[in-house]
Structures are given as structure tokens and as C-alpha cells.
Amino acid sequence: MILHSTTLNMLKSKQLLKQWVKECASFSPANFKLKRALIVSKLSRYEFEQMRHPDLSREQLEQKLRDRGTDVENMLYLHNLHKDFERRIVRSFRNVGCEVKLSSRLEFRSSLSKDVMSWADVIVPVGGDGTFLLSANRASPLFALSQQKTPIVGFNSDPQHSEGRLLLPKHYSENPEEAVNRIKSGDFKWVHRSRIRTTMLGNNGAIPESTDLFRHTAVKMEQVDTAPEELDWKMADKYKAKMKRILPYLALNEVFIGEQLSARVSHLQLVLNHQDVVNKTKCSGLCVSTGTGSTSWHTSINRITSSDVDDLLKSLPNSCAPQILQLRANVEEIAQCYNQGLLFPPDDPRLCYSIREQICVGVWPSPKTFKARDFVQTVFIKSHCMDASLVIDGSISYPFNDGAKVLLEIHPEDALLTIALD
């Protein structure tokens, strides 16, 4: 029996992932020793404004905010709400005998976080999904230059205003002490979340300077220790490159590639699963998602509304037929069912790419059979853009202009280890 190379790659990835999960299973929750917790605090909007205006006193800052129409009282209320919850989390871990270190979201972006992460038994982002994603980026073996897997568990500091899909259920925002006690006693489950490894291909192995989109500053720490490697002859010949260099950040949700100016068309070439077909597209950008990210941007790009379903049914020649009228009475349910089908498990070894607003006229896309969305094991992208970026989890951005090449793939050993409670 001869299997297609894509099928073989898929089976291989699944086998590797199962092997990895099996190895991690020996590290059962009951054997988890919780002694040191690193609490990562979100940056509140009030703190962000203080950072933007460091020369203003508190009174001057608040007056400036009022002058531009900001509800300062509500901003301070939300700031204090988060800080009170943060202190409660710290107390909860200390009450079970944990040594605790507190790092703000800004501090955690510094290179010193590598040392702090090697110290911690668990990383605890407190805030929303953004703080969790930041923590996951830094809890990467490629970033920390260590094979140590530090688990993550997140708390939602404001469940009334934040969905917090990556965080513990909202029940534990009301009862964080219960969550900490369960973690301490080993009464939880491990969840392994696949992440995207991003490898730049080129002729000299250089990495372009990256930008922290949160602070709009250059990030140079990855230049120090991530060494370039030579490509094997097959890959070198196929992708017309000599060197590869793995970026230190693993994407938990997605990698997005597109022009920075949203009104400009993104011109990209894609090779799926190392096949011989070069797919050419003009679009509003490319989103490559994990199972974890399927609840986020992936769904926003691909979801349909009840109005979409109704418009489609009305366009049918027999739109007044009883069967169609019956379907039109259930458009909300149909849309919900379709949107639910966009989700896939967080430990899925596959990637799902989505072409955003693909141009489908004239010669585009090429070939015409190129799907705007599909599951793949690997995706190679070459840019023909003018001023584009490759963005990891909406946080770290790299220039990705004409001629730039990248390979996106999932490696089982890169999976993020997270703590889950019912």
C-alpha cells in the first residue's frame, strides 16, 4: 500500500504528538511539586497612560484624560479591581506555602525573564488572554534556551469585561483560593497546546529586527543566541535558500502575514505540505492558526452570520419551497452549527490557514483550485509585498517584504503545558 507523502507526514506528526503526550503523562498532576510561582500582571489602561506620559503628575494625567473625554473614574475603578484581584492571587499562593515573585507585563518582556522562568514551577498570568499569550511566548524552550517545560495557568481578573478563553473558568475568578488549593494538591488536568514554530529561510541566516507591538519598540534579545543552520540539499533546492533560522517565539494562537497598510493588497506565494505546487494569491493577509487559536482570529475571519445563511437560502431558485422556508426559520441555529465546526482541539498537530478576502477574479488565485482555507502539516510562504509584517500572536512583528521566506510547522516537543480545572 502506497501512502501519499502528506498522509505520511500527518501520521508521523500524530505519532510524535502521542509519544510526547505519553512521556508527559508520566509527569502526573499528583507528582507536580508547587513551590515557586511567578505571577505575571497585566498592564492596566491607567498604567499604560502613566507609561505614555511619564512627566505628568497624577493630577495632570487625570486632567489630560478628562480633557479628551475619558471616563477617568471608570478607568481607575477597573485598575483597582485588577490590582485587588492580583493581590488576592498572590495571597492564595503564599497561603499554600509558595514562594511568589510578581512581574508586570512590561517587566516580563525583558530578557531577564529567562532567568525568572527557570526559577518558577508555574507561571500565572493574571489579567486577560493577552497577558496569557505574552506568558506563553516567553515560556518557549526556544526563547528561554532551556528544555525545561514550565506550566502555565491563567486567572481572569475581570470576567465581566473579558471572555478569557485561555484562562481558568470564570468561577475561579470568584474563588481563586479553591483553584490554588486544587493545583497544590494535584487535583487538575494537563492540557498540551500545539504551537507554531516559525523558521526564516534565506542565504545568510540573518533575522530582521523585530518589534514589540505592545510598546512599539525594537526587540533585540533573540539576536544573541539563536544560531543559523544550513538547510539540507533537498530543502535548499526546493525553496532556493541556503540557511534557516528558527525564531525564538512560538505562536500559541496564530501567525499573521500581510501588508501593514490594511487597504493594500498582500501578494503571497504558498507551498502546502512541501508539495510541488506553488499557490499564488492576492488577498488581505494570511492567518495560520492552531487549535487554540481556532476560537480567536481564525473564527472571526471565517464565521458566518444568520443573515449570511438567510441570504444564501433566498438566492436559491426554489427559495419559496416549504423545505427552504423551514431552513430559513432556523438560520441562527445553522450559523451557530457552522461556526462551531470551525473549532478544532488545542492539541491538534495540524495547522489551519485562512486567506483573508482572497481576490477571485481574472487569473487569481493561481491555480483556481487553491482553497481559501484548509488544514495542512506545513506551509511555506514567500512574500511579494511592499511593506508587510509577520506577526506572532499579535505581539511580536517581523518585516516580511518582497523575497522574504518562512516555513510554519508544528513540532510536538514545542507544545505548551497548561493547567486545566473543571
The pLDDT value recorded for residue 343 is 97
The pLDDT value recorded for residue 193 is 96
Dihedrals phi, psi of 404, to nearest 5 degrees: -65, 145
CA distance 38 to 48: 22
- In this structure, the dihedral spanned by the alpha carbons of residues 344, 347, 351 and 354, taken in order and rounded to 10 degrees, is 30
**Which CATH code for domain 196-295+344-414?**
2.60.200.30
Residue 208 · residue 219 · CB < 8 Å: no
Residue 203: DSSP 8-state: S
- In this structure, the dihedral spanned by the alpha carbons of residues 213, 106, 43 and 91, taken in order and rounded to 10 degrees, is 150
Q: Where are the domains of the chain?
A: 32-187, 196-295+344-414, 303-342
Picking from 400, 411, 136, the residue whose alpha carbon sits closest to that of residue 293 is 136
The pLDDT value recorded for residue 104 is 77
List of the chain residues with pLDDT < 50: 1-8, 111-112, 221, 223-224
Determine which helix (DSSP H) or strand (DSSP E) holds 15, and give its type and residue range: helix 5-25
Which grid cell is 236? 535548499
Residue 200 · residue 383 · CB < 8 Å: no
Which pTM does this prediction carry?
0.89
The pLDDT value recorded for residue 16 is 55
CA distance 396 to 41: 19
Provide the CA 133 distance to its chain's centre, in angstroms.
Answer: 6
pLDDT digits (tens, 9 = 90+) for 260-271: 999 999 999 999
Domain 32-187 -> CATH class: alpha beta
The pLDDT value recorded for residue 149 is 81
The pLDDT value recorded for residue 20 is 53
Determine which helix (DSSP H) or strand (DSSP E) holds 191, and give its type and residue range: strand 189-193
Q: Which residues of 326-345 are buried (b: 16+ CB within 10 A; e: fewer)?
A: ebbeebeebbeeeeeebebe
